[in-house]
């Protein structure tokens, strides 16, 4: 069964850093594009970043470009999101999602990031 499990969320001060992980099971992470999508409390979904399968091209939302980095460790079948220079507006539940073929499935259960002093 295909499964994604995020971890690494928590409380961090403005300007701080955090690294999220997304452990994949039931499929080989390196052969799929993967994405991070976030959802601020009570708000809608917002695409954050993506990494292509194979070659590993990365793309970012303008709001996080230069601050966030998406990567993966194929040996651990794990996706990462390194988040630096965090701001209050980055507070959200962060989901990882597999790019099935230009649509997102499955999604993980999400990990909550709170940026506050």
Interface characters, 35-74, with other proteins (x: CB under 8 A): x-x------xxxx--x--------xxxxx-----------
Q: Which of 72, 94, 104, 115 binds other proteins (CB under 8 A)?
A: 104
State in angstroms the smallest separation of the CB of 31 from other proteins. Answer: 19
Return the structure tokens found at 25: 């099971």
Residue 23, phi then psi, degrees to nearest 5:
-85, 125
The three state secondary structure string of 35-81 is: EEEEECCCCCEEEEEEECCCCCCEEECCCCCCCEEEEEECCCCEEEE
The residues of the shown chain that bind other proteins, judged by CB under 8 A, are: 35, 37, 44-47, 50, 59-63, 95, 97, 100-110
């Amino acid at each position: 069964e295909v499964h994604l499990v995020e971890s690494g969320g928590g409380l961090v001060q403005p300007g701080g850093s955090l690294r999220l992980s997304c452990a994949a099971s039931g499929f080989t992470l390196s052969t799929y594009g993967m994405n991070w999508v976030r959802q601020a409390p009570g708000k809608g979904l917002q695409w954050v970043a993506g990494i292509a399968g194979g070659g590993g091209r990365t793309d970012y939302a303008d709001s996080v470009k230069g601050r966030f980095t998406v990567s993966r460790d194929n040996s651990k079948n794990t996706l990462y999101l390194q988040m630096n220079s965090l701001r209050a507006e980055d507070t959200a539940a962060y989901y990882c999602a597999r790019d099935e073929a230009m649509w997102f499935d499955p999604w993980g259960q999400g990990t909550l990031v709170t940026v506050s002093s």
